[in-house]
Amino acid sequence: MVMKFSNFIFPAAETPEDDGRVIRESVAEAQLCDRLGVDTVWLAEHHFDGICAYVDPVSFAAALATCTENIKIGFAVAQMSLHHPIRFAEQMNMIDHLSKGRLIVGLGRGTAYNIYDYQGYDIDADEAQERLLESEDIMLKAWTTENFEYKGKFWNIKLPKLRPVPYTKPHPTILRASSSEGSMVGLAKEGRPFMMNVQSDEVTKHRMDLYRQTLAEAGYDDAKIAQNVSDSWVWRNVFVAETDEEAERVGVPAFTRQHEFRSEMRKRVYEEQGVRLQEEKKGIARNDPAHGLIYGSPATVAERLAKIDAIGVGGIMMTFRLGPMAAEVANNSIKLFMEKVAPEFQNRAAAAAE
């Protein structure tokens, strides 16, 4: 199995004046990845704070579907507690057609930290998980059922038929995010692939081993386990430069600022309102450059990624543009990766197959 490489486009716009520029630069970044042969481009969803400039992965995915040719377009993730499931299912069918089946519908309950996302949509954050599960159930049935009726906790629905019908049969590809070990185990019992958030290599290995073990204990055969692993993804921040010294000088400060900016609105809302979803934990892997950032020369980055490849994962979701990093700097990192790092893994896979 060759580990797949993808770009998680998660660009910050620190001021409203930056919004339009960063959105346009993100379109160009996706087009660059398409030309370079990147497997997938992933899109986030966050509101009201600038940590994700394009805000809405649905409309942004539709735009990318019309200006790219080969790259798959995935959500990491759509916050389903903020979406009407029928409207969302229709939108997915539309993008599925525009992209000719390149869509991956990545679903999650909603943000774990930004309470203002829920406030802005008048949604009780405590309902987020239940809304995700009900919405997914509705979409799967609406995609495959005529004269569909549904009565649930949040939605009472009656419709003759979804149009347009899905391009991908029986419906667009669905993938669920898993931020905790418990939710990952639940998906394994259901025989489903998953997306893992930024973790240390040690935690990643533990969870992937547990995932395979749980699939086996649930009765899935080796072929199914291999396919599920191939369809699962882990997330890392990555910065490639010509030398290790340049990567540290440019990449580490940008990574540090990225996390500072992501926490600023949460702190402001807490100071103003006294409310938050949870207190931000100190010393977690995704905030520590030693674990949350892979950086260095092409050779150094390839060496670090080889450790993840040895764990056995289907693909790695890489955020290249970090915090306030200029677009041309991030794009150069992507080019170096695809031209000098990715071929190392393709060559290793070819050699192993001989």
pLDDT in tens, 56-89: 999 999 999 999 999 999 999 999 999 999 999 9
Instruction: Kindly state the average pLDDT of the residues 80-100.
Output: 98
What is the domain count for the chain? 1
Following DSSP, what letter does each residue of 42-70 receive, concatenated?
EE----SSSSSTT--HHHHHHHHHHH-SS
**Cα 83 from Cα 212, distance rounded (Å):** 32
Residue written as token pair 């892979």 = 294
Give residue 281's pLDDT.
Answer: 74
pLDDT of residue 36: 98
Q: What phi, psi does 186 have (nearest 5°)?
A: -60, -40
Q: What is the average pLDDT across 209-224?
A: 98
Asked whether residue 282 carries a pLDDT value surpassing 80, the answer given is no
Cα separation of 62 and 99, whole Å?
8
Q: How confident is the model at residue 288 (pLDDT cuts 50, 70, 90)?
A: confident
Instruction: Residue 118: give the domain boundaries.
Output: 4-353
pLDDT at residue 350 tops 70: no
Indicate which CATH number applies to the domain containing 293. 3.20.20.30
Contacts for 13-20: CB closer than 8 Å, 24+ residues apart: 13/50, 13/53, 14/50, 14/261, 14/324, 15/50, 16/50, 18/50, 18/53, 19/50, 19/53
Write out the two tokens for 31. Answer: 């087009």
Q: Read off the pLDDT band of 48 (50, 70, 90).
A: very high
Mean pLDDT of 272-280: 92
The pLDDT assigned to 353 comes to: 65
Mean pLDDT along residues 145-164:
98
Region 12-35: what's the mean pLDDT? 98
CB of 56 closer than 8 Å to CB of 23: no
pLDDT in tens, 229-266: 999 999 999 999 999 999 999 999 999 999 999 999 99
Question: How far is C-alpha 23 from the geometric centre of its chain's CA atoms?
Answer: 17
pLDDT of residue 168: 98
pLDDT bin (cut points 50, 70, 90) of residue 283 is low
- What CA–CA distance (Å, rounded) separates 231 from 317? 12
Count of other CB atoms within 10 angstroms of residue 186: 15
Do the Cβ atoms of 228 and 309 come closer than 8 Å?
A: no
Question: Do 105 and 89 meet the contact criterion of CB atoms below 8 Å apart?
Answer: no
Strands (E), the chain: 4-9, 40-43, 72-75, 78-79, 103-108, 148-151, 156-159, 173-178, 194-196, 233-240, 293-296, 315-319
Q: Per-residue confidence at 284, pLDDT binned at 50, 70, 90?
A: confident
By percentage, how much of the chain surpasses pLDDT 90? 93
Over residues 6-22, mean pLDDT: 98
pLDDT tier for residue 349 given thresholds of 50, 70 and 90: low
Over residues 343-349, mean pLDDT: 82
Beta bridge pairs of residue 106 = 175
Token pair belonging to 45 = 């969803």
